[in-house]
Amino acid sequence: MMKSSEAKKQLRDKSPADLQTELDALLKEQFGLRMQKATQQLTDNTKLKRVRRSIARAKTLIHQKAGQ
């Protein structure tokens, strides 16, 4: 697994279109994790928190780049 600082830097280097693609993938992953949680199949609850924060990070970067 990659360190969070490396992941943040990798996200920052992406174009707005790439960030949107990443955001779509994260939202799909979040949906899958929520379904697993609802059916008690989710074993690692921290995954949901990590994905939620990654979504927020991607949205923030999209808005920052749109403002430039």
Q: Give the predicted TM-score (pTM) of the model.
A: 0.84
Predicted pLDDT of residue 1: 52
Q: Is the Cβ–Cβ distance between 9 and 55 less than 8 Å?
A: no
Query: What pLDDT, in 10s, does the model give residues 29-55?
Result: 999 999 999 999 988 989 999 999 999
What angle, rounded to 10 degrees, do the helices at 46-67 and 16-38 form? Answer: 160
